Amino acid sequence: MPTVNVGRDRLYEALQQHYSEEEFDELCFDFGIELDDVTTEKAIIRKEKHLQEDTLEDEEIIYKIEVPANRYDLLCLEGLARALRIFTGKQGSPTFSLSSSAIQKMYVQPETALIRPYVVCAILRGITFNQARYNSFIDLQDRLHQNLCRKRTLVAIGTHDLGTLEGPFTYEALPPSEIKFVPLKQRMEFTAEELMDFYKSDLKLKKYLHIIESSPVFPVLYDSKRTVLSLPPIINGAHSAITLQTKDVLIECTATDLTKAKIVLNTLVTMFSEYCEKKFEVEPVEVISSDGNATIYPDLHVRSLEVDLAYINGYIGVSLQSKQVIDLLNRMQLPSEATIGSNGKSKIKALIPPTRSDVLHPCDVVEDVAIAYGYNNILKTLPRSLTQGKQQPLNHFSDLLRSEIAMAGFTEVLTWILGSEAENFWLLNRKHKEHTGVIVGNPRGSDFEVNRVRASLLPGLLKTMGHNKDSPRPVKLFEVSDVVLLDNTKDVGAANERHLAALYCNTTSGFEVIHGLVDRIMEVVGISNAAVGDTKGYYIAPSNEPEFFKGRQANIILNGSCIGSFGIIHPQVLANFDILDPCSVVELNIEPFL
Amino acid sequence: MVALSDKEVTKAQHVEEVILSHLQTHEEIVNSGEFAKANGLEHDLLLSVVQSLHGFNYVEAQDIKKEAWVLTEEGNSYATLGSPEVQVYKAIPLEGISREDLQKKLDVSVFKIGFAKAMGNKWLETKPLVSRKVSNVEDQVQQQLVHIRNGQDLAAADIDALKKRKLIIPLIWKGYSIRKGTSYAPKRTKAATDLTREVLQRGTWKDLVFKDYNYNALGQPTEGGHLHPLLKVRAQFREIFLEMGFEEMPTNNFIESSFWNFDALFQPQQHPARDSHDTFFLQVPEKAQFLPEDYLQRVKEIHEHGGYGSIGYGYNWKREDAEKNVLRTHTTAVSSRMLYKLAQDGFTPKRYFSIDRVFRNEAVDRTHLAEFHQIEGVVCDRGLTLGDLIGVLNEFFSRLGIRKLRFKPAYNPYTEPSMEIFSYHDTLKKWVEVGNSGMFRPEMLLPMGLPEDVSVIAWGLSLERPTMILYGIDNIRDLFGHKVDLKLIKSNPICRLGMR
């Protein structure tokens, strides 16, 4: 969940009310956001730098607030405060409008299709910035870049002082050597080619270079005088940088995903048109695609969604009247009205503003009714249908067998399914080729060796033994759990197999103890001992596995097929797992017993 | 007490006889040390015998503590060879000797110490040669050391002088003075410790005196094995679900395709949970070999363009992304398979549950692991309401002993409404999150082919968190994984979750 940092005092000012921390926490809980932390700007910096200093009294208190990942309209103080004001009934939902006609045009060149095909634009006229508003405007772009824009891969935002530029604008894609401009925060001109090199050492920007680096053409925006607006998704030009004095702001969003570009643009203009001379009015820009089609952006149209009143009541389990539902939806920024459907049923027509891109389906309207009504005010009921409890036979059987093994004196352990290549192969004296199994493609940075999904329970038991050297002897361990084997008959190409493994460790090897356990397992599952070669019952036959000691190991043959093996662990393997005393081990597949 | 060998037992019996028979004719053994010496007994053995006799009130023993002195190694050598000052004195011939020659005749330290002492005693002259100043000396130090060696007393001033020269060190000597006890008898009848087969069959239990049992000591540890604490908690959760009429889902498939793990759940392909930072993708087997084609088309359609009343996400859905295999990030992947199957088989009301392993590519610490167990409950029925979900959750959690619940609106791509479950923690005095829940979105259910009036409510929590709270474990790796503390498994109490 994204976290938004807002100054407490500014927030309360915007909410037109002062809350105690507890009161505000309650309000957050009811609305579905979370007051995650209370800190100060300087404390955040200190934490980043690992400094130990006390908070000074005059530091501004910052609230860190977690918001739902699909509510981009709550990613800045403006939107958060607006939503809470509306939720607490202090104001109604704003209506956003476009000024009459598009003055500015953006022409898209066909080459952009090769790298970043979409651009959408809008203009905020007569905006008044101050330091706090300006910071919030920049922060919102950062948060959108991180969340919805998926680290600028899907959408990149550029904001410009329109007063420094002259339209019409073009969106082009050119070879990097042909793009030359002074980027933001620099004084020198760079070609795009040079910039890519220059930013390799820039901690903030280097992570975006890969998005266009390997492309023969880079996306770039120009005004009519060939001034570079930006080189998306990397950097804006210095020329059109916005300042506290900027009055008219041009916003451009270039994208590989048009839907998200539109949401990003709408989020910026619906939040910051609040500070425009004509509040909540946005000047549109006409975007002319390479095939000549013109589209007006931003798309601020209000979608209407008709939902049966009965659907809402039935979904939540309440019986509200239309008027009540409308009141509740008004508090959630979904202005609505009552209508009657063609079948004579009561309907609620909800008007979905451009800020609410999270509303996809009537069920989203239902949720807002439920939130405004209060989850904790809903009457508890129970589903009426009678159903039967039932266990999975494999799990049921495993539990019975686990009890038997524990009764035989073994202590259960629970080990990792992920392990290293070493412990799954060469530490067991096994070679790779003999046991190909499931391999993880992206193990975590520090654990890059942990990339194997176990095909045997043995490494887990041996590691547990190695870590419990001081345990009183004999140590008797077991585990009943799944391993994963490649299996071409399964849709995903792999399947689990339920195994049982047990280990005995003492001053003597305990080979006959493990042998006895094998006999006991067969006894409790009702399989009788058979003569070697029989295809009914079980017998054991000498084996030759590298993890076991020669001449003290055997395969377990059930109804003619090998289901597992047991033996004294090879001294080399013991040493590999840092075990000082002899051990005997059994591992078998228990699924054939079912 | 250390067990005695047979030979030692015989010796101990002898000591016991000597003590008891002595007390028959004497009032008291004043000093156990002297008594041992006089009778040729080992004093240590005598002490342990007296302790035992005292325990059974045959004798009454009283502690004697004495500060005795023993010789240090240096003291010992002077007791034998004479004090260094006398050794030096004696090494000087009557005609005198050069200092160097005198030094050569003696041990280095003897010379060094003895020369200084002898000079201090004014026994020597040094000019021009070293010569005797007095005609005769008496070696008092040697005599004193010999006294100490023989256990005789010395004047306090002499003790101090020897102590200062580090020739003697103190030793606390312990012994007893011994008198008859209340149960004194000239011969001990040994108390029986146990009712044995022999005693039973001979019938001697009627006359035997039984030794008192030490009720304060622990009994003998039991033999036998142990089940794992986390799985004991799992067993209780399973029972709660079974009692509530839930059917277990087959979750024995750790490898899942992105299709079932994400796409079928209406989780968009750009969702952050599908990042490599959160999910383990597989190199082998890299991709799912087959996917349910008809259904896949409906899933693609709902993601791209919506349907069933939804506008969808409006992006270009890629089959390649759906084919990517992952280590499942939640057991809800199995729930989606089960619900799809239910739709194909013909809908009937169902309650499903599972408790099994899931995987997250996250940093591990004391409370978080890359592998953990997810507990999941699912109810599918016609016309279920949010009130039903709240009711089921109250029922489920009250069986865990959690009766104070409240719900916070939340976001989850595949449930709407979504609710985080909070319970009031009496010790922490605050509300803590105990699970997540919601109603599956129609965009997930309808493409599966479930009837329109069917709703599905579901909730999930981890198995590890309640277990850690239940057993007061603050590092999950003490419990789960190979760094487990076996003692913790063995001493773990039964899990009473679900008992009421």
- Which range is least confidently modeled, A69-78, A356-365, A425-434? A425-434
Same fold, A3-87 and A303-375: yes
CA quadruple B52, B54, B59, B60: dihedral sign? positive
Domain boundaries A303-375, corresponding CATH code:
3.30.56.10
Of the partner residues B238, B311, B442, the one whose CB lies closest to the CB of residue A363: B442
**Structure confidence at residue B1 (pLDDT):** 42
The three-state DSSP-derived secondary structure of A439-474 is EECCCCHHHCCEEEECCCCHHHHHHHHHHCCCCCCC
Distance CA A307, CA A245 (A): 46
Beta bridge partners of A61: A40
Distance CA B154, CA B175 (A): 21
pLDDT digits (tens, 9 = 90+) for B72-94: 888 888 988 888 988 888 888 88
Is A55 a residue whose pLDDT tops 70?
Answer: no
Closest to A296 in 3D by CA, of A286, A310, A306 = A286
Spatial neighbors of B426 by CB under 8 A, at least 6 apart, are none
**Structure confidence at residue B90 (pLDDT):** 86
* CB proximity A466 to B under 8 Å: yes
Between B458 and A343, the higher pLDDT residue = B458
Residues 154-173 of A with CB under 8 A from B: 154
Pick the CATH number of B230-491 from 3.30.930.10, 3.40.50.1100, 1.10.540.10, 3.30.70.100: 3.30.930.10
CB contact under 8 A, B442 and A413: no
Is the CB of residue B340 less than 8 Å from the CB of residue B463? no
| A51 pLDDT tier (thresholds 50, 70, 90) | low
Q: Give chain B positions within 8 Å (CB) of A71.
A: 411
Minimal-distance CA residue of chain A relative to B270: A150
Distance CA B111, CA A293 (A): 116
**Structure confidence at residue B188 (pLDDT):** 79
Closest to B182 in 3D by CA, of B63, B50, B58 = B58
Q: Give chain A positions within 8 Å (CB) of B231.
A: 402, 412, 414
Q: Give chain A positions within 8 Å (CB) of B357.
A: 417, 482
To the question of domain A3-87 being in CATH 3.30.56.10, the answer is yes
CB contact under 8 A, B252 and A394: yes
pLDDT digits (tens, 9 = 90+) for A132-163: 999 999 999 999 999 899 999 999 999 999 99
CB contact under 8 A, B270 and A399: no
Is A536 a residue whose pLDDT tops 60?
Answer: yes
- Mean pLDDT, rounded, for A223-244: 95
Distance CA B310, CA B315 (A): 14
Kindly report the nearest CA distance between residue B398 and chain A, in angstroms: 13
Q: Give chain B positions within 8 Å (CB) of A381.
A: 385, 387-388, 390-391
* CB proximity A516 to B under 8 Å: no
**Structure confidence at residue A411 (pLDDT):** 97
Q: Classify B275 in phi/psi space as left (phi over 0), alpha (psi -120 to 50) or beta.
A: beta
**Structure confidence at residue B2 (pLDDT):** 47
User: Residue ranges of chain B with pLDDT lower than 70?
Assistant: 1-5
Minimal-distance CA residue of chain A relative to B420: A32
Is A550 a residue whose pLDDT tops 50?
Answer: yes
β-strands A97-98, A61-66 pairing:
unpaired
- Complex confidence, ipTM: 0.91
Is A434 a residue whose pLDDT tops 60?
Answer: no
Is A446 a residue whose pLDDT tops 70?
Answer: no
Q: List chain A domain ranges.
A: 3-87, 97-297, 303-375, 393-593
**Structure confidence at residue A404 (pLDDT):** 97
Question: How is domain A393-593 classified at the architecture level of CATH?
Answer: 2-Layer Sandwich (3.30)
To the question of domain B6-70+171-207 being in CATH 3.30.1370.240, the answer is yes
Q: List chain B domain ranges.
A: 6-70+171-207, 230-491
**Structure confidence at residue A432 (pLDDT):** 66
pTM of the entire predicted model:
0.81
**Residue among B237, B241, B254, B338 with most chain A CBs within 10 A, to mutate:** B254
**Structure confidence at residue B307 (pLDDT):** 95
Q: Give chain B positions within 8 Å (CB) of A453.
A: 254-255, 327
Q: Give chain B positions within 8 Å (CB) of A379.
A: 387
Distance CA A41, CA A552 (A): 68
Pick the CATH number of A97-297 from 3.50.40.10, 3.40.190.10, 3.40.630.10, 3.40.50.20: 3.50.40.10
CB contact under 8 A, B357 and A417: yes
* CB proximity A387 to B under 8 Å: yes
Is the CB of residue A262 less than 8 Å from the CB of residue A156? no
